[in-house]
Amino acid sequence: MAGNRTFTMIKPDAFEAGNSGAILKMIEEAGFKIVAMKATRLTPELAGKFYEVHKERPFYKDLCAYMSSGPIIAAILEKDNAVEDFRNLIGATNPANAAEGTIRKIFAKSIEANAVHGSDSDENAAIEGNFYFSQLERVL
Ligand code: CMP
């Protein structure tokens, strides 16, 4: 059975552009409940740890530099079928391929600066949420 939680980040490009509020509005209007949230900033080392699964990819170094280039918002979201429904809401990784009306289609600048992150599995949603939030911050 699909889990009911996913994890997201509003990335530096969207935060810097002042799109956090509009993105959070779309997320809430799609039926997701925010159960933990904070504005923060990654160091290059922490970005590298978060995206360690991509460390052999050619874009890894640039991704770590970009993800530590400015503030982000990290959040745990709750909804039935959360991981799949959230990925449908944000659209394809490359905004050029994202469906009309999706968050990335509306707000992303490029395949790297693609406005938001969404977990790709229930297992990674838990790992990524735990990366940012302590047990005390996950009380809801
Ligand atoms: P995200 O969903 O957070 O997962 C990995 C991130 O790496 C992705 O969004 C993009 O920001 C980035 N990414 C994925 N593919 C590429 C690519 N081909 N070139 C540059 N960045 C990429």
Q: Which of 82, 107, 108, 117 is catalytic?
A: 117
**63 vs 61: CA distance, rounded Å:** 5
Judging by DSSP bridges, how do beta strands 33-40 and 72-78 pair with one another?
antiparallel
Q: Does 1 have pLDDT greater than 80?
A: no
Longest CA–CA span in the chain (Å) reads 39
- The answer as to whether 62 is a domain residue is yes
What is the overall mean pLDDT for the chain?
97
Ligand 1 centroid to 52 CA: how many Å? 12
Q: Which domain holds residue 48?
A: 5-134
Cα–Cα distances in angstroms (integers) from residue 16 to residues 13, 40, 67, 107, in the given order: 5, 13, 12, 12
Q: Tens of pLDDT along 68-103?
A: 999 999 999 999 999 999 999 999 999 999 999 999
Q: Tens of pLDDT along 116-129?
A: 999 999 999 999 99
Q: Which amino acid is at 35?
A: V
Q: Sorting pLDDT into bands at 50, 70 and 90, what band is 3?
A: confident
Binding-site residues for ATP? 11, 59, 87, 93, 104, 114
Q: What is the CATH number of the domain that holds 42?
A: 3.30.70.141
- Overall number of domains in the chain: 1
- The answer as to whether 140 is a domain residue is no
Q: Does 40 have pLDDT greater than 90?
A: yes
Q: Which residues sit with their C-beta closer than 6 Å to ligand 1?
A: 54, 59, 63, 93, 111-112, 114, 117
- The answer as to whether 9 is a domain residue is yes
pTM reported for the whole predicted model:
0.96
Mark whether 117 is an active-site residue.
Answer: yes
